[in-house]
Amino acid sequence: MQPVVASSDPRKIVHIDMDCFYAAIELRERPELVGRPVAVGGRPGGRGVLTTCNYEARAFGCRSAMPAFQALERCPQLVILPVRFELYRAESKRIRAIFHEFTELVEPLSLDEAYLDLSALNSSGAALAAEIRFRIREQTGLSASAGIGPNKMLAKIASDWRKPDGQFEVRAEEVDAFVRTLSVRKIWGVGGVTAERLAALGAETCGQLQDIDLAVLHRHFGKFGADLFELCRGIDRRVVNPARERKSASTEHTFRNDLPDVEAGLRELVPLVVELLDELRAKHGDRAVRSAFVKVKFADFHQTTAERRCLEGAPEVYKELLEEAWRRGGGKAVRLIGVGVRFASLGGRGAGEQLELFD
């Protein structure tokens, strides 16, 4: 397949997302478990949390980041297997080698998903995605889903449309109609709090968001307002960056009412750490942790970050970091709390030193 000079045609961005990656690998290695509900993660005795589940387990309500004991309550016949990150990393490497047969413009997001920019190739994005998925199955025995679109946001949204083992394309001429009915929660960068704030402005769909003036969005969301103005119209100018290395992962919450004291903050801390764990387990299970941090924004909009070097982000670490950050405010109320980790360089420690947040 020979690359050609890119034309002025819309970009061909493909988002490849492996289906239940860790569980699928384990089922391939243990075919006697096919058809049974299977999860990866947890520890003997129902301790720990799940990293991923197959679709049979999901039918019982099991999901990633769920405590293993709770998953077993929902599905007593659930088979829980230990994680084997060296195996998953090896499979991921094989899959990325397939990507590089098509383009050097590959941006991995985690072991099991990546963006590819195929704009320089003659074939259609849909045909290329189908060929990539075929080669993955042929060489690894695993299935992948794909989204094809003129930009990263639309390609990623589209990859969820036909899961598992399917693909969906959003063509350039279809973008306006496609995004109009999308929930604002599908927009890149929009989380639960932002979605609630948008709903308060009367925007629950991208079409409704398009009716809000740029000045209004800027007043409510600052610089992100300009991004929202474009993203809700299906405009995403981010490029596929092969050199991108995720440095950190975090989650945060802005409270409707300012938290008056650290005790109130500590009550809000656990769900934030659980949400962080969900992202780490789902997307960054192979990354070694260098440090944990807590960000606090006070009622007067000043903010501070407390950080500590550690290999594990235990709940006690985040509790101590929150107390440290809160003291810096001198008694001021708090409007936002964020928790996160910073990763060690990919050239540093290897897999096997995963973050364990809860027993």
Residues belonging to the active site: 113
Taking Cα atoms as reference points, which of 128, 127, 121, 99 lies closest to residue 111? 99
Cα–Cα distance for residue pair 282/137, rounded to 1 Å: 22
Taking Cα atoms as reference points, which of 111, 108, 54, 110 lies closest to residue 80? 54
Taking Cα atoms as reference points, which of 22, 50, 53 lies closest to residue 38? 53
Cα–Cα distance for residue pair 67/55, rounded to 1 Å: 17
- Give the 3-state secondary structure percentages of the chain, helix then strand then coil, rounded to 5: 40, 25, 40
Q: What is the DSSP secondary structure assignment for residue 191, as one 8-state letter?
A: -
Determine the 3-state secondary structure of 69 from DSSP.
helix
Taking Cα atoms as reference points, which of 249, 230, 352 lies closest to residue 292? 249
Q: Is the peptide bond before 260 cis (omega within 30 degrees of 0)?
A: no
Determine the 3-state secondary structure of 359 from DSSP.
coil
DSSP element (H, E) containing 305: strand 303-309
Q: Are 162 and 173 in contact (CB under 8 A)?
A: no
Measured CA distances, 47 to 65, 207, 287, 289, 353 (Å): 12, 45, 22, 21, 18
DSSP element (H, E) containing 167: strand 167-169
Taking Cα atoms as reference points, which of 189, 295, 287 lies closest to residue 247? 287
* Sequence-ordered list of residues with C-beta below 8 angstroms from that of 245, at least 6 positions apart, any chain: 345, 346
Tokens 């003997």 locate to: 44
